[in-house]
Every structure is written in C-alpha cells, then in structure tokens.
Amino acid sequence: MDSLTQIVLGAACGEAVAGRKLGNRAMLWGAIGGTIPDLDVMAEFFCSRMDAMAFHRGFMHSFLFAAIAPWILAQLTLWFYSQGVYRLRGYKLIAMLIWLIFFLGAAAGINFIPVVLNGQISWYIFTPTLLLGAWFTWKLWKDYWRRDLSMVQAPYLTWVALFFTSIFTHPILDCFTNFGTQVFQPFSDYRVQWTTVSVVDPLFTVPFAIFIYLASRFHRAERARLYLTWIGILWGCGYLGYTYWNKQQANTLFEKGLQAQNIQYQRYMTGPTIFNNVVWYGVAEGDTAYYFGQSGFNDCKPGFNKISALPKRHELLNHIPKDDKAYRFLRWFSNGYYDVQQYNGDTLQVNDLRFGLTGDTLEGNNYVFPFLLFKNETGAWDIYQHNRSPQDPDRFRRSFGELWERAYGASCHE
C-alpha cells in the first residue's frame, strides 16, 4: 500500500513490541522498519525502468529479507546508541533533512495519484498533505532538534523483534493489493496478489493513524497507550477481513453478471477501485477479448449490469520473440491480463487490465496502467509506463465524481 499506511503499520508494530521499553522511539524505529522494504524504488537510479519495476516488491519484500535484515539492523541500532551518535547536532540535522525528504516523497506519491488519473493536482488531497507537512516540520524542530535526547537502553533481541515485525508485516499488507508482491524471492518471482484492498484506502489508514497518534500522547507506562495501539491494530486486521468478505461478494456478483450476459470466460479477477472498498471492478478473460465491468454495493441494484468487451489484439505482438525481455516482463507483470493497441508507428500500447479503467466502460483510452512497448536506441524492445492526461478531462472528472458518489454518497447508479 501507500507509504503513509506502511509507516502507520510499522509504528504500531514497534509500539506493540517495545513501547514500554522505548516509548515513542519504538514507534519511530517501527516506522523506519516499515519503510525499509519500499527503499527498493531507489533501484530506478541504478538500472533500467524495466529492471526497477521488476525489483520493486521483490527481494526487499521477501520473507528471506524479513528474516535476515532485523539481525543486522538491530546490531547497527545498538552501535548507534552506544556511541552517542543520536545526540550529535550534525547527525540530527541530517536526520531531520532525511525525514523531510522522505515526507516529501510520500506526499508526492499520494498526490501523484490524481495527477495520473486526472492530469492535475487535487486540492482536496494537496491541502491536507501541505498542512501535515507544516505540522511535521514543527514537531521535528520542537521535539527533536531542540530536545536533549535521553539515553536508550533495550536488549538486542528487543531490537530484532521490533525490526522483524515492522518489516515482515509490510509485504504481507502489500499482498492484499493488486500490484503483486514477490514474497518468495530469490527462490521464485511468483507475485502474491490477493486484491482485496486498494493501494490507497483512507478508511483503512486514517482511523489506524489516529489511534496510533493518540497512543503516542500517553506515557510509555500507561495502559491507555497499549490499549489504543492494539485497537488500531485490530481495526486494521478487522478492515482487511471486511475487504475479504467484500471480495467474495464481488466475485459472486461478477459471476452472475457474466452468466446473465452469456459470456464465456477462462478466468477472472476482481478488485476494489481507488480510495474505497465499496465499488469493485471485474475483468474476465475470454478467447478474443477481456470483459470489464464495475459494481457498487451502494448501487440501487448491485451487480455487474454493464460489462464491456475489450479486444485482446494479442496478435499485434506476434512479431516480437516470445523470449524477448520486454515481452516476458509485460506478460509476467500483468499476470496475463493485458490488451494491446496501436500507438504510433512501431510503438504499441499494452494495457495492464488488473488496474482497470477510470470509469465503468472504455471511453477515450481511459486505461489506468498503460505501457508503451517500443524499440530503444539500441534496437531492443523496451517499455515505458505511459500515464497521461485523459483525452476528455471533463468526461474523466464526471467518471471520478460518479465513482466517489457510488462509494461514499447516496446516488443510485444502475
């Protein structure tokens, strides 16, 4: 899921394991541990886009990494405190800058979603993140830069447990989304994707974050701190259970919708639309086309009443060798759920259908996750993730507004 959610989950894990010994530092180091797997995005600075996308949610999200990294990180943390590094002004300045840069990165990631979908920043998202950034900067200056930090004493195994829980839960949570997580690396590149929760779901994150923040306001020895932390954790677990139940309901509705329209299919998948768990989409694979539809539990007549055919056009890729690296990547990354379009000249557009469309039908090339497949300067086939502004911004805004109303409003959509 998004970086903010992983920070909240990591902080909760840190508090649950070591809160009574470390106080708010347990939350801080838990948040760091919960962030570490996502540092694999740095691979983009050192390798090709294709390799970076393959590496993301790869080894650093694996069970093996979660088993090894905590022992190393615990040793480094003990050295860090035993040498008094955490009290040096130079270190504190660097640490503040790193945290601010990280916050900017997380805020940019959250604000990038409406840019991808709508071609412009959403002030409903940008304004709260700006205010949160101002508050975060003030807290760093007041409670970190100006404070003479106290001694930290915790045994080695406590640090190991803290880092293990915060790192291990990160890929587990990611498995609930539709992106896929390679938890068995380096032994297998199989990507686990249960697709029960959106990559950004405020109803999961915001209450969880509020409980953890409230817990941080109590002294480490007070029981209220522990109770609030576990309420937050139970909220997260309960919400994931709720999303699993919703998926079973969506599966049933999609199967009925396909049957009602006499659509023959080989396999299908369902997933929640962005920012909610109420409106779901379904994609079914037939012989020559995929079939896409949306259904909201708050619709007047819940069900996949409108299902659109998306021609596969896989024959457009026949001239590309099956073992070509870019071709193999696209088949693997999309789990075989992709259609193809002519784009420009020899360049093709390959659309990952696991992420669906911005509306309940195909209008104006409104794919959420398209790639361009082209020949680079060396003559080899290469890819580029091609998110662009919609051809009809007004139609897109209407589609997104309809989605919002279906998820959180009282509109009747049939």
Q: In the chain, where are the structural domains located?
A: 3-243, 261-408
Q: How does residue 414 score in pLDDT terms, banded at 50, 70 and 90?
A: low
Q: What is the DSSP-derived secondary structure letter of residue 181?
A: B
Structure confidence at residue 311 (pLDDT): 96
3-state secondary structure of 292: strand
Of 233, 166, 206, the C-alpha closest to 32 is 166
Structure confidence at residue 114 (pLDDT): 67
pLDDT at 237 over 70: yes
Beta bridge partner(s), residue 367: 357
**Measured between alpha carbons, how far is 56 from 38 in angstroms, rounded to an integer?**
7
Backbone angles phi, psi at 245, to 5 degrees: -60, -45
Average pLDDT over residues 215-244: 96
pLDDT at 142 over 90: no
More confident residue, 133 or 310: 310
> Whole-model pTM?
0.89
**Dihedral of the alpha carbons of 285, 287, 288, 292, in degrees to the nearest 10:** -20
**Measured between alpha carbons, how far is 100 from 106 in angstroms, rounded to an integer?**
10
Structure confidence at residue 152 (pLDDT): 80
pLDDT at 392 over 60: no
165 Cβ contact list (under 8 Å, min separation 6):
13, 14, 16, 17, 30, 33
Residue percentage of the chain with pLDDT more than 90? 65
DSSP string, 367-414: BSSEEEEEE-TTS-EEEEE-----S-HHHHHHHHHHHHHHHHS-----
**Measured between alpha carbons, how far is 211 from 75 in angstroms, rounded to an integer?**
30
Structure confidence at residue 299 (pLDDT): 87
More confident residue, 114 or 24: 24
**Dihedral of the alpha carbons of 164, 167, 169, 174, in degrees to the nearest 10:** -160
Structure confidence at residue 347 (pLDDT): 94
Q: Do 51 and 43 meet the contact criterion of CB atoms below 8 Å apart? A: yes
Structure confidence at residue 129 (pLDDT): 85
Q: Do 176 and 194 meet the contact criterion of CB atoms below 8 Å apart? A: yes
Backbone angles phi, psi at 263, to 5 degrees: -95, 125
C-alpha of 230 from chain center: 23
**Measured between alpha carbons, how far is 274 from 63 in angstroms, rounded to an integer?**
28
Structure confidence at residue 274 (pLDDT): 87
Of 134, 150, 130, 204, the C-alpha closest to 173 is 204
More confident residue, 412 or 51: 51
DSSP string, 42-92: GGGGTS-HHHHHHHTTSGGGSHHHHHHHHHHHHHHHHHHHHTTGGG-HHHH
Is residue 94 within a helix (H) or strand (E), and if so which, with residue range? helix 89-118
Tokens for 386?
């091609």
Q: How does residue 116 score in pLDDT terms, banded at 50, 70 and 90?
A: low
Beta bridge partner(s), residue 289: 311
DSSP string, 324-368: -HHHHHHHHHTTT-EEEEEEETTEEEEEEGGG-BSSSS--SS-BS
166-190 pLDDT per residue, tens: 999 999 999 999 999 999 999 999 9
Structure confidence at residue 217 (pLDDT): 92
Structure confidence at residue 309 (pLDDT): 95
DSSP string, 187-245: T----B----S-SS-HHHHHHHHHHHHHHHTS-TT-HHHHHHHHHHHHHHHHHHHHHHH
pLDDT at 407 over 70: yes
376 Cβ contact list (under 8 Å, min separation 6):
382
pLDDT at 363 over 80: no
Structure confidence at residue 323 (pLDDT): 94
Structure confidence at residue 17 (pLDDT): 96
Least confident of 31-45, 246-260, 310-324, 385-399: 385-399
Of 342, 283, 353, 351, the C-alpha closest to 316 is 342
Average pLDDT over residues 133-153: 83
24 Cβ contact list (under 8 Å, min separation 6):
216, 220
Q: How does residue 153 score in pLDDT terms, banded at 50, 70 and 90?
A: confident
Beta bridge partner(s), residue 181: 192
More confident residue, 122 or 229: 229
Average pLDDT, the chain: 90
Structure confidence at residue 395 (pLDDT): 64
Structure confidence at residue 358 (pLDDT): 82
58-74 pLDDT per residue, tens: 999 999 999 999 999 99
pLDDT at 290 over 70: yes
Structure confidence at residue 174 (pLDDT): 97
188-205 pLDDT per residue, tens: 999 999 999 999 899 999
